[in-house]
Amino acid sequence: MKVLVVGGGGREHALAWKLSQDRCAPTLFCAPGNAGTAGLGTNLPIAADAIEALVDWAKVERPDLTVIGPEAPLCGGLADLLEAEGLRVFGPNRLAAQLEGSKVFAKEVMEAAGVPTARAATFTDPVAAKAYVRQEGAPIVVKAEGLAAGKGVTVCESVAQAEAAIDAAMCARVFGAAGARVLIEECLVGPEASILALVDGEHCVLLASSQDHKRAHDGDCGPNTGGMGAYSPAPVVTDELWPMIQEQVFTRTLVELQKRGITFKGVLYAGLMLTPAGPKVLEFNTRFGDPETQVILPRLDVDLLPLFDACIDGTLSASMLAWKPDACVTVVMAAGGYPGAYAKGAVIQGLEEAGQVAGVTVFHAGTSLDGGAVVTGGGRVLAVTALGRQLPEAIERAYAGIDCIGFAGGWCRRDIAAKAVATQGDV
């Protein structure tokens, strides 16, 4: 079986790693992949957003399945084009991917469906946006409307900070066209959690809970990033919350999409704030999260391909999933300067030693091969992931792996999952 994985980050390495363990032993291709996926299959010199080139390759090679990792090709309609060629695709079509591609569309769907979410207003004029901020006061949240690589959200503690965020998005266009329109949202309070669900158009099956760490530095300080680490399960998602999340978030959203003539197949990711009034949706993504994938897939105790096939064929059921009891932690090693400007080409040392630590798997993100050396090629470089019987053991193993690795300018947060241990104990 021939499988194409589109993307080149830590999420795609984790997907390829899990797919490589399937009993059918698929032949893997990754576009463009990274130094990690090169050890699992064939990397293709095609960028993840080079939609025409991807379709041309697929028309010739006819993969049995294409798994689309990043949001850009999904929102660009790659799934639609491949399906038009008679090819099987795991990932939503362009209309369904609007849930991530347009925060305004997602908010409209949630409000129509009765999905609990933050109160928000939308603006195309920075003057009007600033006037609204002054009226509402702070704290308040400014969101670029379109895709911004996970960095388009600014949680503002003051009116001045919110006005600066509006200027950055709408005037300086630091997020490009994604910032032409902004949402100004009330600032919700509570712990966050990530819930991902497999969806086959009619049914959705929730995956194990996880919690991401978006802020760059320890103590949840600094700018937002694509994610500096994650852990699973998230103890803040209690047994009592699961049915509420299933019905109020996922079922209501799918019903509303169906009313609009939109069929969703793939992964629907809900970023939740667990407020005193109950779970509220911060955002939707329409693909596996990064770095959440790196802590969810190692805990999944069944093959991945049957799940993807069921999503495509409309035969998904909760009985198809099984989970290891272990906890899992991933810690992102980033290049110096990230999430701002960063250098590339630093040689990475200690990868083999890290992989020999008990329970550790090193997922590559921004890496490439330079001769025989693995070098840095992105802002988030590696995701050092560890399974443990309980969360403290997984944390200890992940950081033991981190301490084996070095590259010029490399850094990481040192408090991934620490808050969960401090508040919940050994979970």
* CB neighbours of residue 221 within 10 Å: 9
Region of 266 please: left (phi>0), alpha (psi -120 to 50) or beta. Answer: left
> If you average pLDDT over residues 380-386, what whole number do you get?
98
> If you average pLDDT over residues 399-405, what whole number do you get?
98
Look at residue 422 in the predicted model and tell me its pLDDT. 85
Instruction: Say if residue 178 is in the same domain as residue 204.
Output: no
Region of 62 please: left (phi>0), alpha (psi -120 to 50) or beta. Answer: left
End-to-end CA distance of the chain: 39
Look at residue 227 in the predicted model and tell me its pLDDT. 94
* pLDDT at residue 125 tops 60: yes
Look at residue 147 in the predicted model and tell me its pLDDT. 82
Continuous H helices in 196-292: 241-245, 252-259
CATH number of the domain to which 198 belongs: 3.30.470.20
Identify the residue with better confidence: 154 or 266.
266
Give pTM, 2 decimals: 0.93
Residue 426 confidence class, pLDDT cut points 50, 70, 90: very low
* Boundary of a domain, candidates 320, 345, 363: 320
User: What residues pair up with 274 in beta bridges, in sequence order?
Assistant: 279
* pLDDT at residue 149 tops 80: no
Range of the domain at 290: 192-320
Q: Which long-range contacts (CB under 8 A, 24 or more apart) does 236-242 make?
A: 236/191, 236/193, 236/211, 236/274, 236/420, 236/424, 237/193, 237/195, 237/209, 237/274, 241/274, 241/279, 242/206
Structural domain count, the chain? 4
pLDDT in tens, 267-308: 999 999 999 999 999 999 999 999 999 999 999 999 999 999
Instruction: Say if residue 290 is in the same domain as residue 372.
Output: no
pLDDT in tens, 319-332: 999 999 999 999 99
Residue 211 confidence class, pLDDT cut points 50, 70, 90: very high
Look at residue 110 in the predicted model and tell me its pLDDT. 96
Residue 352 confidence class, pLDDT cut points 50, 70, 90: very high
Instruction: Say if residue 217 is in the same domain as residue 307.
Output: yes
CA 181 – CA 126 distance, rounded (Å): 9
CATH number of the domain to which 332 belongs: 3.90.600.10
Look at residue 150 in the predicted model and tell me its pLDDT. 67
- Mean pLDDT, the chain, rounded, equals 95
* pLDDT at residue 425 tops 60: no
Pairing type for strands 120-123 and 182-186 reads antiparallel
Any idea which of 19-33, 131-145, 317-331 has the lowest mean pLDDT? 131-145
> If you average pLDDT over residues 188-203, what whole number do you get?
95
Instruction: Say if residue 181 is in the same domain as residue 281.
Output: no
CA 87 – CA 59 distance, rounded (Å): 9
pLDDT in tens, 73-123: 999 999 999 999 999 999 999 999 999 999 999 999 999 999 999 999 999
Instruction: Say if residue 177 is in the same domain as residue 216.
Output: no
> If you average pLDDT over residues 69-75, what whole number do you get?
96
User: Which DSSP symbol is given to 298?
Assistant: G
Asked if residues 213 and 291 have their Cβ atoms less than 8 Å apart, the reply is no
Q: Which long-range contacts (CB under 8 A, 24 or more apart) does 52-60 make?
A: 54/6, 54/78, 54/82, 55/81, 55/82, 55/85, 57/4, 57/31, 58/4, 58/82, 58/85, 58/87, 59/85
Look at residue 427 in the predicted model and tell me its pLDDT. 38
- Residue 362: inside a domain, yes or no? yes
